[in-house]
Every structure is written in C-alpha cells, then in structure tokens.
Chain A
Amino acid sequence: MTLALMQPVELSPTFLWIQHLIEAIGIGGMWSIVITYAILAVVTFGVLALLALFLVWWERKFAGHIQQRFGPMMTGWHGWYQTIMDAVKLLQKEDILVVTRDRMVFFWAPIIAFVAAFAAYIVIPFGNGIIVADLNIGILYIIAITTFTIISLLMAGWGSNNKYALLGGMRSAAQVVSYEVPMVASILTVVLFAGSLSMVDIVDSQSGWFYNWNIFRLPFGPIAFITYIIAATAEANRTPFDIPEAEQELVAGFNIEYSGMQFAMFFLAEFVNMFTVSAIATTLFLGGWTGVLLPSWMWFLGKTFAVVALLMLFRWTFPRLRVDQLMEFSWKYLVPITFANLILAGWMKYAGWYW
C-alpha cells in the first residue's frame, strides 16, 4: 500500500512527449516528471482561467438575451473582452480590509476556494487522452476536492466578522452537506455500471453510439442525471439554490467583505465550479469525449457547454428557494429518490438486465 502511494501517478500517454523533451535536454529521473506536471498544471490553469473569463461573459450575454437586452456591447465585438476589463479593474482596486477580521482565516478563504476549484481538473478528461492524470479514484478525488470549496465559504463567513457573511457561510455549509449525499448517490449509479472510479474508464464504458451514454440507460440513467443536475446546481451555489449569497436577503452573503482580487478569486472559482459540475455531468452521463467526425475535445466542450447553458437557464428563470424548503427538498425527496434509484440500478446490474 505504501509502495503504491509512493509511485508517481502515471502520466497520460498523450503528454509523454513533453517528458521525453525534458529528458532530451538532460534533466532525468524524478525531476523530468515533476517539471512535466508543472508545465501541464500551468497550461490547465491558463485554459481554465480563459474558460472562466469566457463563461462570465457568456453568462452575461445569456442573461441579457433572456431579459431582452444585449448584455455587454461596448468593449469589442459584442463586448467580448468585457470580463478581461473587469478583471483588470478588480486587480487595480484597493483591498479594503475589515479591521475586526480574523486575519489568517480571511486571507486563506479565497485562496482555498480558488485552488480547490482548479485542482479538480487534474482528472477531468478534456478529450481522448487529454487528461493530466488518469487517477484510478478519479471521481472520488473530484468529490473530495470540490468539497473544499465549502470550507473556504465557511472560512470567509467566519473570518469576515460580519453577521450577513456568517449567515451566508452557515447556509452554504448546511446546503452542501445536504446536497452532497444525493449527488454522490447519483454518481454511484454510474460508477456501478462502469465498474470503475476512473474518469477514463467511465467514458470508455459509454463508447459507441449515443444510446450507450449513461443518460440513455433506461430507466435509472435519466433519473440519476436529473438528480445529479439538481444536486450539482446546489453544489455550484446557483439559483434556485443560491441562498449562500442571496443578494436580497444577505446582501452578498459570504463574500460581502471581500474586495479587489480576493473577490475576483471567489468569483472566478464560482464559474470554474459551474464548469466542473457540467464537465462531470458530461463525463458521467453524456459519454464524455465520445462522438463522431469532430475531434474529441470539441465533443467534450460542446456537451459541457450545453450543460452549462442548462444551468444558466435555471439561474435566469427560477425564483430562489427558502433555506428550510431547500433542506426539505434534499432530505425528503432527493435523497430517497437517488437511493431508490441506486438500489434499482444495483439490482438490474446483478440481474444483467442492461446493455
């Protein structure tokens, strides 16, 4: 067991050429692997930062068109670099710090949110072989690492020393604990049929035509997908489950005392989280990168953006649930449904009634 842990995680074959290149210039052994991973981390980070910027812009456009207005229009073609300008503005801003804050907790909260949001992408397959590391516990790792976001929200709520922020933090903790359960139960349904926790294996189990996708494995596939999407919306703190930062009740919730770049980190983390849950939905239910004609990464991005669009549609059309209704919905409806679904799926797997 200890031996296995000390082994470096195997690099995806697609990126072996980077390691060979580094070895070619004379850096060998362990260091070549470390440097390769560092390069991949920087590239992933860059891609995701761009994606998050794009998502912010897209959300604003999406909201604009739903609300019969244009959204950002002034900066570039249809306002395409509006989010870049916003980020630059936030970078220049003074960090206004509350004197009564808890210094350490306040400082680390956005960093943890940011890192946790990005760290999930180690195991997300963007295409056939385009994955940083195919961990054999991939999906478990994602669940574990994305839950870190909650700690950061709680820290932000506590560290701000503000009653609204504290309420927001407590709300988010309660919400995520409640919705983690149905989310994991929905994910387990898929894991049951793939027979593996590895993201690549899960996608491979859905290869072939679209009827092999988990969402089309009747009857439990669609149910698991719907419950997952509901739970994921709550995980990503989006309407109708956006109570941690309900503007009309808590002003801004946990991030009320944050300004400048610290606020931007929360903001970007939120959008990265939205992309994460959509990417997981794509991988688990929509066949991941599989598809015909187009390159695999295009299929993956296309499907993920479709799920993102669904989440955006929720946000701009639904009212917000109340905090007790939210808990009730999870424990009274979602948890029993997902577990019944899981048992059904297990039974069908045992009986062999599936394709």
Chain B
Amino acid sequence: MTEVGLRTEEFQVNMGPHHPSTHGVCRLLLTMDGEKVVKVEPYIGYLHRSIEKICENRTYHQCIPILDPFEYVTALSCNYVFALSAERLAQIEVPERAEFLRVIMLELNRIASHLIFFGTTAMDIGALTPFLYGLREREMIMDLFEMTCGQRLTYNYIRIGGVSKDILPAFVPKCRETINIIKDKVDEYEALLNGNPIWKARTIGIGPLSGEKAIAFGASGPILRASGVKYDLRRDDPYSIYDRFEFDIPTRQNGDVFDRYVLRLEEIRQSIRIIGQALDGIPEGDFKAKVSLKFKPPAGEAYTRIENSRGEMGVYLISDGTEKPVRVKTRGGSYNHLQLIPEIATDCLIADLVAIFASFDIIMPEVDR
C-alpha cells in the first residue's frame, strides 16, 4: 500500500471509564490498528472509596456493613471473610447452626454471582436475552436473602460469631425449590448457548491462558481452574465446614473464554450440591455466639482467605487490643485478573477484548476498593 502513498496509523481509544462493557468504571486505553487492539493499558482508581481506611476508624462490628460494597455482587463473602478474621483473632467458637447457615448463604451468593456472569458475558458477546434469564433466576435467590435478612444486595448478614438472624421455617422448602429450578435452568442455558455456532466461534480459542501464566500472575478462582489448575480454597485451605460436604472441583484445560464460561456453569451445579447437603443437615441450636458489642480481640494479626466467586478473597487484620482495628487490608481476585488483560488481550480484535474482559468477570469495586 505504501507504494501509492497511502499510510495507516495507529490511534488511541479510551474504552471507559463509562463504557457498556467494562462492568463499572474501568478505563482501558486502547492503541488500535483499525479493528485490531495493539496495546491495552488499564487505568484504575475511578471507584476508590477508601474502604480500608474507613474501617480503621470503626469498631469491628461497624466494619462489616462498611465492607459490604467491597465486592457488592457477592457481599456475603465480604461479610464472611472479615468476620472469620476477627473470629480467628479472638478465637471465637461459632455455633454449628450458624456454620450451616453461612455455607448455605455463601453458596447461594456464589450462584447469584455466577448467574450475573452468565448474563453479562452473553450480553457482551451480543446475545441480549440470556442476561434477562440469568437475572430472573438470580431474583429468586435475592428473594431468599430478603426473606432472611431483609436486604437484597448488601446484606450485613454474617456477623462476628454467627449470623444476624435465624432463618424462617419457610426458608428450607423455598430454598430447595429454588435450587431445583436453577438446576434445570442451568441445563437450559447450556442448551441455549453451548451448541450455537456463533457462540462457539466467538468463545472457543479466544484469549487462551496457560496454567503457568495464570499462577505467575496470581490468578485464582474460576480463571485458574479454567486453565487446568485444580485449586480451590474450599478444599485446599478448608474454612467453615466445607470439609463435611461432598463436591467436585471442576477444571477445564484450555483456559479460553468458552472454558471459563462452562466452568462457572459447572460450579453452579456443585454449589447446588453443597446447598442440598447443607439443607439436610441444619442442626438445632443458636445461630450466634455470645459476642460483646464492645468486641476487643487480643493484639495480633490474622489473614483469612476464602474462595469467592471471583477468586481468592482475603482480609488481613491487625489488632492492638482496642475496639478498632489498626489495619484492614482487603484482597480481591479481580485486581490480579485485571493485570492479565494486557497480557492476553493484546493483538486481538476489539470484539475479542470485550469477550475476554467479560469472561474474567472483573468487577471494579473489588479492584479499587
């Protein structure tokens, strides 16, 4: 082309902070050569709320609602990971019933989060209808939460020493009905998308991530397992009562968009298995240990990590024996996963970048905190 005096030039596009498919206020500075993305630079910080700093000026009990929007799609995990850290510091024994309720709620929340993933990923790849289907099923889970703790997004449900409220008698049958419906619906989702040639063309082989690279970048959760690394904190660093339940840890080998999507649907099935077993075994008893309102853990530090729907979620807590924590450091999986975007989305088309970004299921509150 240069012979006739034509030349092309690269140009830069700001994808975000307000863009339909960056799932929040993430800014990707793209250097593009026509349709091709030559370089991706993520810029973060648009959603910084200084949650960690605020926590230093609150008592331990007040920290829990502050941490709710740390990762608002699975707010229960944020509640839980902080409560677990505090419990480890103070060595509080949590009642059996509370542990069961926590597991049921955490798994329900994981399903809700994966349903959102399913909907938004399908939407980013251009299929608008699955989004509504995913949210329809999530709505039933929201109803269960609302029935138990009155909230639908930021629950403030799991407290230090247990949970804030006991479940209603109607909860168990309704929960069973819900998971049965969702079980059928997941099969329906797979029937809807897995065989679709357009869906396959858009997802299979797109954005492959090898297991080594995933580990090198500190990826965790479904991203890691989709790349063939069988690593799940529920099994490898057991917390709560996960060791009592029977469930598989699904893995996939290729680590492309399709694998990450299929893996999450499989995880929904496993979560349903756990909930089914937990519902059978809820014991009678207290739902909360006796914890003083002036909760003062002994001086020390604790790091607790749990398996969230977006990878490893952790809270590092330093206490000096007073009512307020000295330092609360949070860790979210999305932060590490965002670093992977420039790594695997370079030299692909802009449509692929969107698909890869969606398949990582990055949400910005977890990155910026």
- Using a CB–CB cutoff of 8 Å, the interface residues on chain A facing chain B are 63, 66-69, 163-164, 167, 170-171, 239-240, 242-243, 246-251, 315-325
Contacts and interface: CB of A to CB of B under 8 A. Distances in A.
Contacts of B123: 248
Interface stretch (B91-99, B148-156, B211-219, B344-352): B344-352
16 contacts: A63-B129, A69-B132, A167-B350, A246-B126, A247-B20, A249-B350, A251-B19, A315-B128, A316-B129, A317-B127, A318-B127, A319-B125, A319-B198, A322-B201, A322-B352, A323-B349
B53 interface: no
B198 A318 contact: yes
A317 B128 CA distance: 7
Contact of A317 (B129, B132, B349): B129
B21 interface: yes
B196 A319 contact: yes
B198 A240 contact: yes
Nearest to A325: B201
B11 interface: yes
B132 A167 contact: no
Interface string B122-152: 1111111100110010000000000000000
A293 B127 CA distance: 40
B126 A242 contact: yes
Nearest to A171: B35
Contacts of B199: 319
Contacts of A240: 126, 198
Contacts of B350: 167, 249-250
A251 B126 CA distance: 12
Nearest to A252: B20
A69 B34 CA distance: 39
Contact of A251 (B20, B122, B128): B20
B204 interface: no
Contact of A318 (B21, B35, B133, B196): B196
B122 to A, nearest CB: 7
Contacts of B133: 67-68
A239 B201 contact: no
A68 to B, nearest CB: 6
A163 B126 contact: no
B198 A321 contact: yes
A313 to B, nearest CB: 11
Contact of A248 (B20, B136, B193, B198): B20
Interface of B: 11, 13, 19-21, 32, 34-35, 122-129, 132-133, 136, 193, 196, 198-199, 201-202, 349-352, 354
A66 B127 CA distance: 12
Contact of B21 (A164, A248, A316): A248
A321 B201 contact: yes
A344 B202 CA distance: 34
A248 B124 contact: yes
Interface centre among B34, B127, B351, B352 (most CB of A within 10 A): B351
Given A246-B351, A325-B201, A320 B21 contact: no
A106 to B, nearest CB: 20
A164 B18 CA distance: 13
Contacts of A325: 201-202
What are the 4 closest A-B residue pairs judged by CB atoms, nearest first?
A: A320-B126, A67-B132, A319-B127, A248-B21
Given A67-B128, A170-B34, A321-B201, 17 more contacts: A67-B129, A68-B133, A69-B132, A167-B35, A167-B350, A246-B126, A248-B21, A249-B350, A317-B129, A319-B198, A320-B125, A320-B126, A320-B198, A320-B351, A321-B202, A323-B351, A325-B201
A239 B126 contact: yes
A90 B273 CA distance: 51
A318 B198 CA distance: 8
A318 B126 contact: yes
Nearest to A317: B129
A100 to B, nearest CB: 15
A163 B132 contact: no
A316 B294 CA distance: 55
Contacts of A242: 126
Nearest to A316: B129
Contacts of B136: 68
Contacts of A68: 132-133, 136
A202 to B, nearest CB: 32
Interface centre among B122, B132, B196 (most CB of A within 10 A): B132
Interface centre among A164, A249, A315 (most CB of B within 10 A): A249
Contacts of B13: 163-164
A319 B126 CA distance: 4
A248 B349 CA distance: 13
A66 B132 CA distance: 10
A249 B28 CA distance: 12
Contacts of B201: 321-322, 325
Contacts of A251: 19-20
Contacts of B21: 248-249
Given A316-B129, A318-B127, A324 B349 contact: yes
B116 to A, nearest CB: 15
A251 to B, nearest CB: 6
A249 B126 CA distance: 9
B35 A323 contact: yes
Given A320-B126, A323-B35, A249 B202 contact: no
A235 to B, nearest CB: 18
Contacts of A66: 129
A246 B354 CA distance: 11
B128 A316 contact: yes
B195 to A, nearest CB: 12
Contacts of B32: 163
Contacts of A249: 21, 350-351, 354
A69 B351 CA distance: 29
B307 to A, nearest CB: 29
A323 B35 CA distance: 8
Contacts of A67: 128-129, 132-133
A88 B202 CA distance: 39
